[in-house]
Amino acid sequence: MTATRGLEGVVATTSAISSIKDDVLTYRGYSIQDLTEQSTFEETVYLLWNGELPTADQLASLKKDLAENANVPEQLFDSMRNSPLEHVHPMAVLRSAISTLGIYDPDAEQMDKASNRAKAIRIQASIATIVAGFARIRKGLDPIAPNPKLTFAANFLYMLNGRIPNNLESGMFDKALILHADHELNASTFTARVCVATLSDMYSGITSAIGALKGPLHGGANEQVMRMLEEIGSIEWVDDYILNALENKKKIMGFGHRVYKNGDPRARILKSMARAISEMNGDMHLFELSQKIEKLMKEKKGLLPNTDFYSATLYDSLGIDHDLFTPVFAISRTSGWAAHILEQYNDNRLIRPRAEYNGPRLRRLLPVQQR
Buried/exposed 246-260: b ≥16 CB within 10 Å, e otherwise: eeeeeebbbbbbebb
3-class state of residue 181 by DSSP: coil
Which run of H or E residues covers position 26?
A: strand 24-27
Query: What is the dihedral angle through the alpha carbons of 8, 11, 16, 21, rounded to the nearest 10 degrees?
Result: 50
Query: What is the dihedral angle through the alpha carbons of 42, 346, 203, 11, rounded to the nearest 10 degrees?
Result: -90
- Residue closest to 142 by CA, chosen among 154, 153, 134, 150: 134
The active-site residue out of 182, 264, 308, 316 is 308
Phi, psi (degrees; rounded to nearest 5) at 68 = -75, -15
218 flagged as catalytic:
no
3-class state of residue 167 by DSSP: helix
The whole-angstrom separation of Cα 253 and Cα 306 is 9
Residues for the chain: how many in total?
371
308 flagged as catalytic:
yes
The active-site residue out of 257, 264, 316, 340 is 257
Provide the CA 86 distance to its chain's centre, in angstroms. Answer: 24
The whole-angstrom separation of Cα 260 and Cα 276 is 25
The set of catalytic residues is: 257, 308
